[in-house]
């Protein structure tokens, strides 16, 4: 009896580290390898079929033992009573959930080793075992190029309330123009002619005033407007199109305060070189369309010199 005890102690000392703690690699790993890993290891092929780890639990690597499986963690370091890695091994022999499920319960010595190892903190020492393979993540799509020319509409609509459907309808009926949010839920609006642009007059344009601060695009080509007096009230205007209208060079003076105007379409109008002092004030202008106006080549040259960042488009050489 004492010999057995001494033998046991001797054996135990071989399985423990210098401090008397259970040494994982020498004491626990062999148990796992012999009784557990057939089912709880990496996916492998048997007879041409892929076997996945049972219960999605792998015990062939430190990462996996700590990770747990489909039912969650199986190991709570320091608490063997909370660790299924141990508790499932001490169930009654014919219990449904006993581990290992076949070949009888673990020998008592093995169970005790597991219990002690867990209670001592479940230290692995230097052992790592199988490492998780980093899943190749698909390369993230290239970030949408926010070029300098992209307009930040979100910033532009800061502080603006979304106009009500009724307010929009009233303005549409009164002005006879198409008034549409830039996108669903946007507070910013664009205005286009719907049909019969010649029916749109200065009066129609004035009906847009209640929503002026929301409007970013104002397309009034071929309408019957004669002046742009109301435009001082459009601080967020980015795109103004008055081609084919009767606006004069002088009326462009009203645009001076528009700090965000990027596109101005004046083709097919009578504006001439007298417009230049007003146009040079539009520092934010990126595109200026002046085909078929009364501007002279010399005037255009001067204008381009004063607005180096603006692309001025005249006839493009077409008839």
Summarize as ranges the residues that interact with another protein (CB under 8 A). 141-142, 144-145, 147, 149-151, 153, 172-173, 176, 178, 180-184, 186, 188, 192-196, 221, 239, 241, 243, 263, 265, 267, 287, 289, 291, 313-319
Minimum CB distance to another protein, residue 275 (Å): 16
Please identify, using beta-carbon distances, which residue of 4 and 318 lies nearer to another protein.
318
Please identify, using beta-carbon distances, which residue of 194 and 233 lies nearer to another protein.
194
Minimum CB distance to another protein, residue 232 (Å): 23
Residues 158-177, buried b or exposed e (16+ Cβ, 10 A)? Answer: eeeebbeeeebebbbeebbb
Long-range CB pairs of 238-244 (<8 Å, 24+ gap) are 238/151, 238/262, 238/263, 239/263, 240/264, 240/265, 241/265, 242/266, 242/269, 243/267, 243/268, 243/269, 243/289, 244/268, 244/269
Please identify, using beta-carbon distances, which residue of 7 and 313 lies nearer to another protein.
313
Please identify, using beta-carbon distances, which residue of 22 and 264 lies nearer to another protein.
264
Minimum CB distance to another protein, residue 182 (Å): 4
Which tokens sit at 285? 């202008």
What is the distance between the alpha carbons of residues 234 and 160, in angstroms, rounded to a whole number? Answer: 13
* Burial class of 152 by CB neighbour count within 10 A (0 to 12, 13 to 18, 19+): exposed
What is the distance between the alpha carbons of residues 4 and 200, in angstroms, rounded to a whole number? Answer: 109
Minimum CB distance to another protein, residue 173 (Å): 8
Please identify, using beta-carbon distances, which residue of 268 and 273 lies nearer to another protein.
268
Minimum CB distance to another protein, residue 153 (Å): 5
Please identify, using beta-carbon distances, which residue of 83 and 293 lies nearer to another protein.
293
Minimum CB distance to another protein, residue 25 (Å): 49
CA angle, 26 then 30 then 35, to 5°: 160
Helix (H, G, I), strand (E, B) or coil at 169: helix
Please identify, using beta-carbon distances, which residue of 45 and 149 lies nearer to another protein.
149
Nearest to 44 by CA among 36, 35, 53: 53
Which residues face 179 on adjacent strands?
191
Which residues face 287 on adjacent strands?
263, 311
Minimum CB distance to another protein, residue 299 (Å): 18
């Amino acid at each position: 009896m004492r010999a057995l005890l001494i033998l046991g102690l001797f054996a135990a000392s071989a399985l423990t580290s210098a401090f008397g703690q259970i040494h994982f690699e020498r004491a626990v790993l062999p148990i796992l390898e012999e009784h557990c890993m057939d089912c709880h290891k990496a996916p492998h092929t048997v007879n041409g079929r892929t076997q996945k780890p049972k219960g999605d639990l792998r015990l062939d690597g430190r990462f996996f033992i700590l990770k747990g499986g489909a039912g969650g963690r199986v190991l709570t370091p320091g608490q063997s009573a909370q660790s299924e890695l141990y508790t499932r091994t001490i169930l009654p022999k014919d219990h449904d959930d006993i581990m290992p499920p076949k070949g009888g319960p673990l020998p008592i010595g093995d169970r005790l080793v597991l219990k002690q190892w867990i209670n001592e903190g479940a230290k692995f020492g230097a052992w790592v075992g199988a490492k998780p393979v980093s899943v190749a993540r698909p390369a993230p799509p290239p970030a949408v190029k926010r070029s300098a020319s992209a307009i930040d509409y979100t910033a532009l609509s800061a502080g603006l309330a979304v106009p009500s459907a009724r307010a929009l309808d009233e303005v549409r009926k009164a002005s006879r123009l198409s008034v549409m949010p830039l996108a669903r839920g946007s507070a910013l609006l664009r205005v286009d002619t719907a049909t019969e642009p010649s029916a749109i007059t200065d009066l129609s344009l004035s009906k847009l005033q209640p929503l002026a601060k929301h409007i970013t695009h104002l397309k009034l080509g071929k309408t019957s407007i004669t002046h742009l007096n109301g435009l001082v009230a459009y601080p967020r205007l980015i795109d103004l199109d008055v081609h084919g209208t009767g606006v004069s060079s002088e009326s462009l003076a009203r645009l001076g305060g528009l700090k965000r105007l990027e596109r101005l379409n004046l083709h097919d109008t009578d504006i001439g070189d007298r417009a230049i002092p007003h146009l040079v004030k539009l520092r934010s202008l990126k595109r200026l369309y002046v085909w078929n106006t009364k501007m002279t080549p010399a005037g255009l040259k001067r204008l381009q010199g004063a607005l180096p960042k603006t692309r001025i488009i005249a006839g493009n050489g077409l008839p």
